[in-house]
Amino acid sequence: MKEYKMLINGQLVAGATSIEVINPANEQLVAHCPVASEAQLDEAVAAANAAFPAWAAHSYAERGALIKQLCGAIADNAEEFAQLLTQEQGKPLAAARDEVMFAQYFANYFAEQTIEPELLSEDDNQRLEVLRRPLGVVAGICPWNFPLLITLYKLAPALVAGNTLIIKPAPTTPLTSLRLAEFAAEIFPAGVVNIISDDNSLGQAITSHPGIAKISFTGSTPTGKKIMASAAGTLKRLTLELGGNDAAIVLDDVDPKAAAEGIFGASFINSGQVCIALKRLYVHDSIYDQLCAEIGALANAAVVGDGSREGVQFGPVQNRMQYQKVCDYIADAKANGNIIAGGEIPAGPGFIVPLTVVRDITDGARVVDEEPFGPVLPIVRYSDLDDAIARANASEFGLGGSVWSSNPERAHAVAEQLDTGTVWINQHCAFGPNIPFPPAKQSGLGVEWGREGLLEFTAMKVININKAYSNPVH
Ligand code: NAD
């Protein structure tokens, strides 16, 4: 069995202890994962701080070239990364291959970015310049739904902007990040990239660490709140991409057959374990039965199982704790609505949950109001559009939302009223490295991706020059 190591100060090192990484499709051991001690965290932070001045002094192009080299190493070993991703995360191989490709796409995009000084204004008396400089050591804390993609889309903008980095993957999906560490060790100067893994115990020590300037976190809203509290002592910069409960509103002018596939895909992508998956579907009364039937049929036809098997389209829920939660949400769906697909959990081993669609359910049920983060979609009936918008907005979350309509003006008018960071029209869950991804309400703080996302890895600095000043002649 392969031995995985962490990357600290340019060296691949064992942890203080280790934990098991389990394949969620069959609950078999994939590998052991090192668990860093607080002393090892301190070493990584010290190394990242020591490496910072030299790294920050490089040009964007020089830093970008090394990021591209890392992407090249992923590309050369893409199939191995995809297989490993399927083993640790559970997603089908085709989806794992897509993630490996997308991870490179995001990282290569940021590798090519630069931030030039900006001349704000200049006249005879005053010249105002706005500069951006790196923050220092950034810690990226990642979840388990897209382990490689999320590691890369934190690593690339943080590094290209001139910061040094500590990455901490989720304890149930550390292996692709630790494999990446082996390539990063060869490519980056010691201390620039550190990758450490844990057993869920290091969060507090990272987020309160005086040697870390910024936390870029993707994960749940409760953990995001803990991070804010813990980071307050050192006033760290924070980017928090947290939970979501994205609503989609389907207007009465939609052809149910045409819309069903897009809605189905956005609901069950990665077995529903996506922050911006479509999680609540509000459908106008006039097309409710038809759209429910279409989506139910797609879910019933889907092949769910071990992602390494040929023909499997949807993998298991990633870990036992999440599996238990999803099973509870399905019980809630059964109690409060009519199940038209899935609903019956097969006996283990493995955290396989069939794609579940529940109709005749409404707001107030937990599966509608909360974020299941698994393969279960509630379909809610509405008759008054304003009421549907109000219900969609009555959530503490505000990540994404969508409107489905054949009338662009009507769709846009609804989009303007949704209280979320992103609103899609006739699609959902579409994203890219060039598109800013801003959360609203308790879905987070700050922005990832796009120009704004890159700027979050920098501090603004103003140089304000008095041009009228002249030295007295000596
Ligand atoms: P989680 O919050 O439990 O864990 C995420 C990471 O935080 C892990 O690496 C974990 O070890 C670490 N962590 C745990 N306790 C910590 C603490 N006290 N301080 C610092 N770090 C700590 O989330 P999860 O269960 O891995 O992921 C699922 C959640 O993530 C869902 O709510 C989902 O919506 C959200 N998510 C959001 C986005 C987004 O971009 N908004 C993307 C993916 C997932």
pLDDT in tens, 292-346: 999 999 999 999 999 999 999 999 999 999 999 999 999 999 999 999 999 999 9
Determine if ligand 1 sits within 6 Å of the CB of residue 447: no
Instruction: Summarize pLDDT for 43-97 with one digit per residue, the tens.
Output: 999 999 999 999 999 999 999 999 999 999 999 999 999 999 999 999 999 999 9
Residues 291 and 171 in one domain: no
Mutate to test the pocket of ligand 1, among 148, 177, 198, 223 (most ligand atoms within 8 A of CB): 223
pLDDT of 474 above 70: no
* 452 annotated active-site: no
CA–CA gap between residue 264 and residue 98 (Å, rounded)? 19
Confirm whether 437 is domain-assigned.
no
Average pLDDT over residues 98-114: 98
Q: Where are the alpha helices (DSSP H) in 348-407?
A: 366-369, 385-393
Same domain, 46 and 186: yes
Whether residue 187 lies inside any domain: the answer is yes
Pairwise CA distance, residues 466 & 387, whole Å: 57
Per cent of the chain over pLDDT 70 is 99
- Going by pLDDT thresholds of 50, 70 and 90, the confidence category of residue 241 is very high
The CATH number of the domain holding residue 36 is: 3.40.605.10
Residues 191 and 53 reside in one and the same domain: yes
Report if residue 432 sits inside a domain. no
Look at residue 473 and tell me whether its pLDDT is greater than 70. Answer: no
Cis ω before 256 (30° cut-off from 0): no
Q: Ligand 1 pocket, 171 CB below 6 A? A: yes
Provide the CATH number for the domain around residue 373. Answer: 3.40.309.10
Residue 59, domain member (yes or no): yes
* Beta bridge partners of residue 156, listed in sequence order: none
pLDDT at 157: 98
Residues 152 and 167 in one domain: yes
Residues 60 and 167 in one domain: yes
- Report if residue 329 sits inside a domain: yes
Residues 223, 315: one domain?
no
The answer as to whether 149 is a domain residue is yes
Is the beta carbon of 204 within 6 A of some atom in ligand 1?
yes
CA of 215 to the centre of ligand 1 (A): 13
| Residue 436 located in a structural domain | no
Query: Which stretches of 90-245 are DSSP H helices?
Result: 93-111, 147-160, 175-187, 203-207, 221-231
Question: Are 38 and 85 contained in the same domain?
Answer: yes
- Do 346 and 395 lie in one domain? The reply is yes
Q: Are residues 204 and 325 in the same domain?
A: no
The residue whose CB lies within 8 Å of the most ligand 1 atoms, and thus the one to mutate among 152, 202, 218, is 218
Give the residue, out of 275, 280, 445, with the most ligand 1 atoms within 8 A of its beta carbon, to mutate for a pocket test. Answer: 275
Q: Which of 43, 88, 241, 448 is catalytic?
A: 241
User: Residue 330: which domain range?
Assistant: 246-425
First to last CA, the chain: 77
pLDDT over 70 (residue 104):
yes
427 Cα: distance to centroid of ligand 1 (angstroms): 26
Q: What confidence score (pLDDT) does residue 470 get?
A: 77
pTM equals 0.97
Per-residue pLDDT at 471 exceeds 90: no
The confidence band for 348, taking pLDDT boundaries of 50, 70 and 90, is: confident
Is residue 163 located within the same domain as residue 179?
yes
Distance of CA 267 to the CA centre of its chain: 16
Report the chain's mean pLDDT, rounded to a whole number.
Answer: 98
Considering the domain architecture, whether residues 108 and 15 belong to the same structural domain is answered as yes
Within a domain: residue 216? yes
Whether residue 40 is predicted with pLDDT greater than 70 in this model: the reply is: yes
Burial code (b: 16+ CB inside 10 Å, e: under 16) for 94-119 equals ebbbebbbbbbbbbbbbbebebeeee
Buried b (16+ CB within 10 A) or exposed e, 339-358: bbbbbebeeeebbbbbbbbb
Domains identified in the chain, total number: 2
238 and 250 fall within a common domain: no
Atom of ligand 1 nearest to the CA of 227: 19
226 lines ligand 1 (CB under 6 A): yes
